[in-house]
Amino acid sequence: MRKVKIFDTTLRDGEQTPGVNLNSQEKLEIALQLERLKVDVIEAGFPASSPGDFQSVKTIANSIKDSSITGLARAKESDIQSAWEALKQSAEPRIHVFIATSPIHMKYKLKLTPDQVIEQAVHSVKLAAQKFPHVQFSAEDASRSDWPFLVKVIDAVIDAGATVINLPDTVGYTMPSEISKLFDYIGHNVSQIDKAILSTHNHDDLGMGVANSLAAIQAGATQVECTVNGIGERAGNASLEEIAVALHIRSDYYQASSGIHLKELKRTSALVSRLSSMNVPGNKAVVGANAFAHESGIHQDGMLKHKETYEIITPELVGATSSAPLGKHSGRHAFKEKLSELGFNGSEEVLQHIFTAFKDLADKKKEVTEDDLYALMTDATDDR
């Protein structure tokens, strides 16, 4: 079973979500929870971006011991210096240097030729490697870059001292079969690839973030970058909880595992949701409020007979609880079970009477609560 490292960027890319602004205390609270979750690397921020971010990265770097802490830096001397000042006291100083490699970014954003990009990438990785024992290099917009050019860049930065090579799908453009081919190509064409960890980082613009991450893992990536609840720029990043649980539940398929403490997932999701003020949609995989709720009669009946009929992930696995909300789709079996949980021990005739009243009510209300059921039971007893 291959071990896949989880690189969490909730505090950096995740914080780039429009409207999200976490203060230092909130960031530390999230970092402590990420450490409990056992993520391998926490990207705590972008130290050169603001004095507040610098301070948060420094505080996290000095407080967290069981996860490695990193900070983002453009391929610029001043960014690398600022990252060093923020991270030098961490247990395992690590930097994440990036520069764009796609034709559109090089021409319009950087206004640099491909050769100049290689020169700047090599120069900054060399500089970073003089201070940091671990240097990650990201080829921004890798998925829209020319593949032979990427090979040239990667060989050059590994020579310069990069120990992790990350290939982001920055704008969420790629498809799973394409990213798979890209990782395969890089794995076979970069002569020194064995000297570095290959990493994947995917955005969700076309809803492919998690699928692309898993495809890249299958094609050789041994580090995956993601955020809690999938928060991040635009449509967000690949979601940590979905990747970790997919690797666990389908370990037969991926032959890979993360070291994530899955039981902490629900709590981590709730914390990030509360502090970022980003609600988790009810139908969100793994951590949504409905992820373990079974409403229809057929499903509730199946669940009462054998849980695996409709449940591939147990709620306990991720620290959640299951529920069978009673609504208009619920059947008699689940209804009877719920009533006996509430202490009902009347005859089948009374039960049928309450069930009919329940169906009438369920047509008018989205969910019938326990209070409603008590009221129906009382009415039925009074009627007799």
Residue 168 or 302 having the CB closest to Zn ion: 168
Q: Which of residues 101-130 bind Zn ion (CB under 5 A)?
A: none
Cα separation, 169 vs 172, in Å, equals: 5
Q: From the list Zn ion, ligand KIV, none, pick the one residue 258 interacts with, judged by a Cβ distance below 5 to 8 Å according to partner type.
A: none
**Phi, psi values for residue 127, rounded to 5°:** -60, -45
Q: Residue 102 corresponds to which tokens in the numbers above?
A: 């796609």
Dihedral sign (CA 191, 192, 197, 202): negative
| Residues in contact with 349: Cβ distance below 8 Å, sequence separation at least 6, in sequence order | none
Q: Is 212 within any annotated ligand binding site? A: no
Report, in Å, the least distance between residue 236 CB and ligand KIV: 11
Rank residues 33 and 143 by Cβ distance to Zn ion and give the closer one.
Answer: 143
204 forms part of the interface with Zn ion (CB under 5 A)? no
Pick between residue 98 and residue 335 the one whose CB is nearest to ligand KIV: 98
CA 319 to chain CA centroid, Å, is 16
Q: Which residues lie below 8 Å from residue 259, measured CB to CB, with a gap of 6+?
A: 3, 6, 38, 40
How many other β-carbons are positioned within 10 Å of the β-carbon of residue 58?
22
Which residue minimizes CB distance to Zn ion?
A: 13
Q: Locate 183 and state its tokens.
A: 């990782």
Q: Mind spelling out the 3-state secondary structure of 61-114?
A: HHHCCCCEEEEEEECCHHHHHHHHHHHCCCCCCEEEEEEECCHHHHHHHHCCCH
Least distance to Zn ion from the beta carbon of 226, Å?
10
Q: Say which DSSP state 322 is in.
A: -
Smallest separation (angstroms) from ligand KIV to the CB of 227: 10
CB of 22 to ligand KIV, least distance (A): 17
Q: Is 203 annotated as a binding residue?
A: yes
CB of 203 to Zn ion, least distance (A): 6
Interface ranges with ligand KIV (CB under 6 A): 13, 98, 138, 140, 168, 170, 201, 203
13 is a site residue for Zn ion (CB under 5 A):
yes
Whether 237 has a binding-site annotation, put simply, is yes
Compare residues 42 and 262 and give the one whose CB is closer to Zn ion: 42
Nearest Cα to Cα of residue 214 among 177, 188, 186, 189: 177
Rounded to a whole number of angstroms, the minimum distance from the CB of residue 15 to Zn ion is 11
Asked whether position 169 contacts Zn ion by CB under 5 A, the answer is no
Q: Which is nearer to Zn ion, 13 or 264 (CB)?
A: 13
Q: What is d(CA 60, CA 119) in angstroms, rounded to the nearest whole number?
A: 32
Annotated binding residue at 345?
A: no
Q: From the centroid of its chain, how far is CA 256?
A: 17
Longest dimension (CA), the chain: 89
Q: Which does 98 bind (CB under 5 to 8 A by kind): ligand KIV, Zn ion, none?
A: ligand KIV
- Is residue 26 at the binding interface for Zn ion, with CB under 5 A as the rule? no
**Closest CB to ligand KIV among 31 and 142?**
142
Q: Please report, in range form, the residues annotated as the binding site for Mn(2+).
A: 13, 201, 203, 237
Binding residues, by number, are 13, 201, 203, 237
Interface positions with Zn ion (CB under 5 A): 13
